[in-house]
Amino acid sequence: MLKVGLIGCGFMGGMHAACYKEIEGAQIVAVADVRSEKAEEIAKAHGAEIYATGDELIVKADVDIIDICLPTYLHTHHAVEALRRGKNVFIEKPVCLTAEEGELLVALQKESGTKVQVGQVIRFWDEYKWLKEASDSGRFGKIRSAVFKRLSSVPGWAWEGWLHDAEKSGSVALDMHIHDVDFVRYLMGEPSNFATSVARNSKGVIEQIFTTFNYKEASVTVEACWDYPADFPFDASFRVKFEKATVVLDANGLNVYYNVGGKEKVEIKPDFEAGNDIGGNISSLGGYYNELKYFVDTLLAGKEPVIAPLDDAVKSVRLALKEIESVGGAQLR
Ligand SMILES: NC(=O)c1ccc[n+]([C@@H]2O[C@H](COP(=O)([O-])OP(=O)(O)OC[C@H]3O[C@@H](n4cnc5c(N)ncnc54)[C@H](O)[C@@H]3O)[C@@H](O)[C@H]2O)c1
């Protein structure tokens, strides 16, 4: 049984905790949050010890995995402390805020020989997993174009409003957009070039981003926005044109439209099905369960995680940072 120390018991910490309850082979034995009531809630449900801060948990708790669900600007410090103590780390996306932080983490992981996986959950989301497999199999031919969207109303849950401070979150362009940037890299590799445009709020912070990534034989557009009105429904969707068919994920589900005629609805039987009562803009635990189960199973098998490893997640951050740099920064002053 792997012992997990969960740091940060807010929105994502609650989500991870709900998943660990269902995962055989791992158990949360320690939790930390500067808001004691948040830590207590999860500690009670899991029979875990409570620590006042992430630093204290890392130093004192006897655990095999440190799971970091802290605001992004606190990721690197805590990951460094955990890696220096030889702990395996699961860390939420975006893994870090700068290229330098990314380099430091990759170097420390190599030095410490620990295993690190990043919460690039879209790689574990059923419909996106299906798309990746369809593309790799070549059964529809090559991808010619694609559009990926991730749109939501204003996220209102963040502790001390950290998500809306560009220096702490990197703005929507690093936070929410990283999901699709990372998935596009996973699907297609590194683009040859890209063009980005953004919309900003009255403080000059990016609230919406559109990037077209160009490949030798394909063009892929990614949009992310998180300041739609409160009643705007969350929308994570894609439309991918292959040589022989077009695949669409939208409110009608996942459908394949064949060039030769005909349409097929893809029914995926999820490995794990459960809603969440944690709030926020996510309706199912599926991808979170899949990614954490994969990490636990990988560690138990003594292997390295290869689906969302640290060095690859750092490359996704680097690409998103280049996009942000190309438009003058996450916040114009
Ligand atoms: N994978 C996804 O789909 C997804 C979705 C939302 C957020 N995230 C990521 O998860 C991370 C956490 O986001 P969130 O939405 O859960 O934020 P949140 O504000 O809901 O939770 C963060 C928690 O950290 C606690 N905290 C702050 N400093 C601490 C410290 N020093 N020690 C211990 N606890 C401390 C806060 O009290 C808060 O409870 C971010 O990196 C975010 O980008 C990922």
Q: Give the pLDDT confidence score for residue 278 in this predicted structure.
A: 57
Nearest CA to ligand 1 atom 41: 72
Q: What is the mean pLDDT of the chain?
A: 96
Centre of ligand 1 from the C-alpha of residue 182, in Å = 20
Centre of ligand 1 from the C-alpha of residue 36, in Å = 14
- 118-164 pLDDT per residue, tens: 999 999 999 999 999 999 999 999 999 999 999 999 999 999 999 99
Task: Provide the percentage of residues in the chain whose pLDDT is more than 90.
Answer: 94
Centre of ligand 1 from the C-alpha of residue 267, in Å = 33
| Contact by Cβ (8 Å): 60, 32 | no
Could you tell me the two tokens for 85?
Answer: 């103590």
Domain borders along the chain are: 2-121, 122-272+308-326
Q: Give the pLDDT confidence score for residue 43 in this predicted structure.
A: 98
Ligand 1 near 125 CB (within 6 A) = no
CA pair distance 18, 26, nearest whole angstrom? 12
Half-sphere exposure of 257 toward its Cβ, with a 13 Å CA cutoff? 9
Q: Give the pLDDT confidence score for residue 270 in this predicted structure.
A: 78
Q: Which amino acid is at 304?
A: E
Nearest CA to ligand 1 atom 5: 12
Of the candidates 123, 118, 267, 119, the residue with the CA atom closest to the CA atom of residue 187 = 123
Determine the topology of domain 2-121 in CATH: Rossmann fold (3.40.50)
Is residue 132 classed exposed, middle or buried when 0-12, 13-18 and 19+ CB atoms within 10 A define those classes?
Answer: middle
Ligand 1 near 287 CB (within 6 A) = no
Q: For every residue of the chain, which 3-state class applies, written as one string? A: CEEEEEECCCHHHHHHHHHHCCCCCEEEEEEECCCHHHHHHHHHHHCCEEECCHHHHHHHCCCCEEEECCCHHHHHHHHHHHHHCCCEEEECCCCCCCHHHHHHHHHHHHHHCCCEEECCHHHHCHHHHHHHHHHHHCCCCCEEEEEEEEEEECCCCCHHHHHHCHHHHCCCCCCCHHHHHHHHHHHHCCCCEEEEEEEECCCCEEEEEEEEEECCCCEEEEEEEEEECCCCCCEEEEEEEECCEEEEEECCEEEEEECCCCEEEECCCCCCCCECCCCCCCCECHHHHHHHHHHHHHHHCCCCCCCCEHHHHHHHHHHHHHHHHHCCCCECC
Mutate to test the pocket of ligand 1, among 6, 7, 9, 11 (most ligand atoms within 8 A of CB): 11
Q: What residues have CB less than 8 Å from 48, skipping those under 6 apart?
A: 6, 28, 29, 30, 31, 42
Centre of ligand 1 from the C-alpha of residue 11, in Å = 6
| Contact by Cβ (8 Å): 122, 182 | yes
Centre of ligand 1 from the C-alpha of residue 135, in Å = 33
| Confidence band, pLDDT 50/70/90 cuts, at residue 67 | very high
CA pair distance 30, 287, nearest whole angstrom? 23
For domain 122-272+308-326, give the CATH number.
3.30.360.10
Mean pLDDT of 193-197: 98
Centre of ligand 1 from the C-alpha of residue 157, in Å = 10
Q: Give the pLDDT confidence score for residue 271 in this predicted structure.
A: 73
Ligand 1 near 14 CB (within 6 A) = no
Ligand 1 near 33 CB (within 6 A) = yes
Ligand 1 near 99 CB (within 6 A) = no
Centre of ligand 1 from the C-alpha of residue 178, in Å = 16
Could you tell me the two tokens for 271?
Answer: 């490995």
Would you say residue 277 has pLDDT above 80? Answer: no
CA pair distance 274, 25, nearest whole angstrom? 19
Is residue 236 classed exposed, middle or buried when 0-12, 13-18 and 19+ CB atoms within 10 A define those classes?
Answer: buried
Is residue 235 classed exposed, middle or buried when 0-12, 13-18 and 19+ CB atoms within 10 A define those classes?
Answer: middle
Mutate to test the pocket of ligand 1, among 7, 12, 164 (most ligand atoms within 8 A of CB): 12
- 211-266 pLDDT per residue, tens: 999 999 999 999 999 999 999 999 999 999 999 999 999 999 999 999 999 999 99
Would you say residue 280 has pLDDT above 90? Answer: no
Q: Which amino acid is at 105?
A: L
